[in-house]
Amino acid sequence: MIDRLKMIKLLILDVDGVMTDGRIIFDSNGVESKFFNVKDGHGIKMLQRAGIEVGIISGRQSKVVAIRAAELGIEQVFQKATDKLAPYRQILDDTGLSDKEVAFIGDDLIDIPVLRRVGFAAAPADAVEEVIPFVHFVTKNSGGWGAVRELSDLLLKAQGRWEELTARYFKEE
């Protein structure tokens, strides 16, 4: 597993059930809300500081996702992807990366084609059971409750970047 993680230059995230707990809330005006975990966001920012790019491929279209992605500086964002392999291939073409240099975390059947291709495949603890045979790692945390952060920390530690990126938090003044 560590050897696979050392190769990763890009982490692609599913949204509903990974970055969120899968709930979609609509108010009486039809305005959509989602809940994102700030710890996941910090993990994404640390990955970016380490030079690991982060992207999103989501099966749904949501303004909220576009806002969150922009806030986190995620540029590779594909929504309404009913076939996630198409945007995945586009990301590979755009970045020049190979499958073995990409990690993906997904939680449902639609994610399996990409999970099967990437160098490192992960799923949150509450992923549907059919996904599990196709991943290298299952987080202890559920989607929307720190699964992305858990994977981010794992990547940074495997690549020997954890101490460097977190030293400022532990330094005494």
Concatenated DSSP letters of 58-119: -SS--HHHHHHHHHHT--EEE-S-SSTHHHHHHHHHHH---GGGEEEE--SGGGHHHHHHSS
Q: What is the pLDDT along the chain (173 residues), one digit of tens a residue?
A: 899 999 999 999 999 999 999 888 888 988 888 999 999 999 999 999 999 999 999 999 999 999 999 999 999 999 999 999 999 999 999 999 999 999 999 999 999 999 999 999 999 999 999 999 999 999 999 999 999 999 999 999 999 999 998 988 888 77
Integer Cα distance of 7 and 39 in angstroms: 24
Residue 79: predicted pLDDT = 97
Integer Cα distance of 59 and 83 in angstroms: 8
